Amino acid sequence: MESKKIMICDDDQGIVEMLELFLDLEGYQVLSETNITNLTKQLIAYQPDLLLLDLWMPVLSGDQLIKIIRNTPEIKNIPILVLSASVDGRDVAEGLGANGFIAKPFDLNEITSSIHDVLAS
Amino acid sequence: MGKRASGINELNIYLKALNSAYSGIIITDNLQHDNPIIYCNKAFENISGYSHDEIIGHNCRFLQAQDRSQPERYILKDCIKNGEECKIEIRNYRKDGTLFWNELFISPVKNEAGQVTHFIGVQNDITSRKKAEHELREEKNNVEIKIQQRTKELQEKESFLSSMIETVRESLLVLDGNYIVLSANKHFLTSFHVSSEETVGKLLFDLGNKQWDIPSLKELLTHILPTSNPVIDYEVEHVFPHIGRKVMLLNAYRIEFEGQYKDRILIALEDITEKKEQDLRKDDFLSVASHELKTPLTTIKGLVQILQRLSIDHSDNKFVSTLDKISAYIDRLNILITKLLDTSKIQSGHIELHMEPFAIDHTIREAIDNIMVGVPGYKINLFGSTDATVSGDELQIIQVINNLLSNAIKYSPGSNRIDVAIHRVANFVKISVRDYGMGIANVDKQKIFERFFRAGHTQKKFPGLGIGLYVSHEIITHHNGTLWVESEPGEGSTFNFTLPIMRTENDGK
């Protein structure tokens, strides 16, 4: 069975590198993007099975991006897991139709279990 | 003989009468040289202290002793010279040298030719009357001096007050009962960039661009004079002429100055614009800082977890336990950052409470049990119970009890005992956490509930941010309860808080 593809989008290089390392160990194919403006292009090109998205990024905020993804036919069905350090992140994520929310700072067990849940459904 | 005898008898009666008179009477012979006294009665002897023999033949002036320059003396001299009557009050001296005031009346006696042959002098000792008059005058002088002193004191007091009013770095206005400005201090004029002419004599509500014309403020001000209730910390945010948008804190009091000025109002204004901005900046900073700190912490935490996973297969125990310790300290750092964020949220009024009914006894017991696991050797006793249900955010209340317990442990080194008591007090549950530690100095008792306050001596010995009690206090206040401390240095502290009871188990039964 081919391993699942996960796209990580966060403007913090540290988080991205750590998650790449971890998800790679967990046996996923990992792609990452720190520049949010490139993300839609990347998503269309790679068609990942899941997007891990930080909600609070400069230039284009995560909530705007979710709207764009949901309105772009080629990628509108990609499941999205929102990562955020802000308290109202959960409400924003749920309101926009994200598939899950993980509060920063997170425990890696939360990442694996959330990914499992989303991919299983 | 009979006629002559009766004449002598008559004369004796007259002399007897003169001798029984209360006034001193003398007769002088104006035709002899230097106007000698030729007769004096008994009373004159008594008044002057001289005997009859010492008096006869002398001029009256011997009564003046050395006191020769009185103006009355010249009046007397003129009258004698001109043969006229006169009445004077003159200082005379007795034989023993003591002073007496003599009310002297003299009257000339003339012969058929109109020549003044004698003078009759009648004298009354008016010393006691003079003394009374003198005392009255003295008294009057004293009163006048006192009045002058009092006036001076009042003037000094007033200039003292006015120099204080001019010196304070707060804007002050004095109003009369109709809110007309009676005076404005220098600080008011400079901070509002206005002149005294534009201010004094004007209605408060007409000042500037009617910045004080606020219905709710007017309402409060109308209560000051009848009730003496001051207006405290009334905030006015307004675009003022010349100085732009400012936040002013207004306090108003009825002035009572030793019973005077009862219908005056003192208004004190403080510009808190900068303070407000600083608070806002501090909150923004805290919220940004804690967010920024959490991001790398997430990375570190993840990386450590990856190492922990990798180490399961091939690592020695020391490596594993080191990683576990790093992980534990990361969690601690995370809690500190979360607390900072909590504080900034509370400070900007964003405390969110999820109110639900819960059984307080159970919550407190569980919180104690959880803490006890982490501090082996410590004995936390729980006394009392309430069977009460309170409405509140259970997680926040747990945070409060955790804060109080961990403080109790932290600040009582050398002790291993904490007593927690839970009781019903009227419509409240009262929870007390008593430690047997170092206690709190009186001066610090209020300050410990302030944000980032650390009691002086604890700064170095005990690490911490100084926000636990602040957050706890805010949480309890938002639950309509109170949090306070009772403590003596060296004798431990008891932190108490109350929560309103929603219902008890016995209700409805």
Q: What pLDDT, on the 0 to 100 scale, is given for residue B41? A: 92
Averaged pLDDT, B77-91: 90
DSSP assignment of B38-72: EEE-HHHHHHH---HHHHTTS-GGGGGTT----HH
Give dist(CA B179, CA B105) in Å, integer: 69
Chain B residues with CB under 8 Å of A115 CB are none
For B330, the closest chain A residue by CA position comes to A105
A100 within 8 A of A117, measured Cβ to Cβ: yes
B227 touches chain A (CB under 8 A): no
Distance from CA of A108 to the nearest CA of B (A): 6
Nearest chain A Cα distance for residue B287, angstroms: 10
C-alpha B47/C-alpha B22 separation (Å) is 10
Q: Does B281 or B359 have the greater pLDDT score?
A: B359
- Measured between CA atoms, how close is B298 to chain A, in angstroms? 5
B297 touches chain A (CB under 8 A): yes
Which residues make Cβ contacts (< 8 Å) with residue B187, sequence separation at least 6?
A: B166, B168, B169, B170, B171, B172
Distance (Å, whole) CA B252 – CA B220: 9
Q: Does residue A103 contact residue A90 with C-beta atoms inside 8 Å?
A: yes
- Tell me if A7 sits within 8 A of A31, measured CB to CB: yes
Chain A hits for B296, Cβ within 8 Å: 12, 14
Q: Is the dihedral of CA B214, B215, B218, B220 positive or negative?
A: negative
Going by C-alpha positions, the residue among B53, B138, B123 that lies closest to residue B86 is B123
Task: Identify whether the C-beta of residue B25 lies closer than 8 Å to the C-beta of residue B40.
Answer: yes
Pick the residue from chain B with its C-alpha nearest to A12: B295
Best of B294, B295, B333 to substitute, by most chain A Cβ atoms within 10 angstroms, is B295
Q: Over the stretch A87-97, which tens digit does the pLDDT of each residue have?
A: 667 777 778 88
Q: Which of B41-55, B141-155, B156-170, B388-402 has the lowest mean pLDDT?
A: B156-170
Please tell me if residue B298 touches chain A, with a CB cutoff of 8 Å: yes
Closest-CA distance of chain A to residue B295, Å: 7
Say yes or no: B177 contacts chain A, CB-CB below 8 A.
Answer: no
| Contact flag A104-B295 (C-beta cutoff 8 Å) | yes
- With 70 as the cut, is the pLDDT of residue B461 above it? no
CB contact under 8 A, B295 and A22: no
Mean pLDDT of chain B: 85
Q: In what order do the strands lie in the sheet with A5-9?
A: A29-33, A5-9, A50-54, A80-84, A100-103
Report the C-alpha gap between B41 and B378 in whole angstroms.
Answer: 115
* Neighbour-count burial for B129-145, b at 16+ CB within 10 Å, e otherwise: ebeeeeeeeeeeeeeee
CA distance A73 to chain B (A): 33
Chain B residue numbers touching A14 (CB-CB < 8 A): 295-296, 299
Residues in chain B with CB shorter than 8 Å from the CB of A18 are 298-299, 302-303, 306
pLDDT tens digits, one per residue of B220-246? 888 888 888 888 889 999 999 989 899
- So what's the pLDDT on residue B509? 39
Confidence of residue B363 (pLDDT cuts 50, 70, 90): very high
Q: Is the pLDDT of residue B184 over 60?
A: yes
Q: Which of residues 361-400 of B touch A (CB under 8 A)?
A: none
In A, which residues are within 8 Å of B305 by CB distance? Answer: 22, 107-108
Q: Which of B298, B300, B342 to mutate to test the interface with A (most CBs of A within 10 A)?
A: B298
Please judge whether A14 and B296 are an interchain contact, meaning their C-beta atoms are less than 8 angstroms apart.
Answer: yes
**Among A85, A86, A108, whose Cβ lies nearest the Cβ of B302?**
A108
Task: Say which of A15, A21, A25 has its CB closest to residue B298.
Answer: A15
CA distance B300 to chain A (A): 8
Contact B431, B420 (CB under 8 A): yes
The shortest C-alpha distance from A68 to chain B (Å) reads 25
For residue B301, give the chain A residue with the closest CA: A107
Residue appearing with tokens 């350090």: A85
> Is 70 exceeded by the pLDDT of residue B490?
yes
Answer whether A63's CB lies under 8 Å from A16's CB.
no
Which one-letter DSSP state was computed for residue A76? T
Sign of the dihedral through C-alpha A87, A88, A90, A93:
negative
Q: Is B302 on the interface with A (CB under 8 A)?
A: yes
In chain A, residues with a C-beta closer than 8 Å to the C-beta of B291 are 56, 85-86
Quote the pTM value.
Answer: 0.46
Query: Which of A12, A17, A108 is facing B295, going by the closest CB pair?
Result: A12
pLDDT above 70 as % of chain B: 91
b/e for B168-193, b at 16 or more Cβ within 10 A?
Answer: eeebbbbbeeebebebbbebbbebbe
pLDDT tens digit sequence for B377-406: 888 999 999 999 999 988 889 889 988 998
Contact residues, chain A to chain B, C-beta under 8 Å = 12, 14-15, 17-19, 21-22, 25, 56, 85-87, 104-108
What would the mean pLDDT of A9-14 be, rounded to a whole number? 86
Contact: B305, A22; criterion CB under 8 Å: yes
Q: CA nearest B31: which of B122, B115, B120, B121?
A: B115
Is-contact B185 B199, C-beta < 8 A? Answer: no
Identify any residues that bridge with B352 across adjacent strands, giving them in sequence order: none
Residue A57, pLDDT score: 58
Q: Which residues of A touch B302 (CB under 8 A)?
A: 15, 18-19, 22, 106, 108
Share of residues in chain B with pLDDT > 90 (%):
37
- Asked whether the CA dihedral B344, B347, B349, B352 is positive or negative, the reply is positive
Q: What is the mean pLDDT of residues B312-332?
A: 83
- Confidence class of residue B419 from pLDDT cuts 50, 70 and 90? very high
Residue B329 confidence (pLDDT) above 80: yes
Instruction: Judge: A106–B302 Cβ closer than 8 Å, yes or no.
Output: yes
Per-residue pLDDT at A118 exceeds 80: yes
Residues of chain A in contact with residue B298, where contact means CB-CB under 8 angstroms, are 15, 18, 85, 104-106
**What mean pLDDT is predicted for residues A7-34?**
90
Cβ of residue B309 closer than 8 Å to a chain A Cβ? yes
User: Which of B42, B35, B44, B36 has its CA nearest to residue B15?
Assistant: B42
pLDDT of residue B257: 62
> Would the pLDDT of B57 be above 60?
yes
pLDDT in tens, B59-70: 888 888 888 888
How many Å lie between the alpha carbon of A18 and the closest alpha carbon of chain B? 6
pLDDT single digits (tens) A50-86 = 999 987 655 556 677 888 888 889 998 999 999 887 7
pLDDT exceeds cutoff 60 at B348: no
> What per-residue confidence (pLDDT) applies to A56?
65
Tokens read off for B256: 């009572």
pLDDT-derived band at B346, boundaries 50, 70, 90: low
Task: State the average pLDDT over residues B104-117.
Answer: 91
Query: Which chain B residues have a beta carbon less than 8 Å from that of A17?
Result: 299
The bridge status of strand A80-84 relative to strand A100-103 is: parallel
Average pLDDT, integer, range B322-334: 86
Confidence (pLDDT) at B508: 43
* Nearest CB partner across the interface for A25, out of B294, B296, B306: B306
The burial of B234, by beta-carbon neighbours within 10 Å (0-12 exposed, 13-18 middle, 19 or more buried), is given as middle
What's the confidence (pLDDT) of residue B59?
87
User: CB within 8 A of B396, min separation 6: which ones?
Assistant: B353, B475, B479
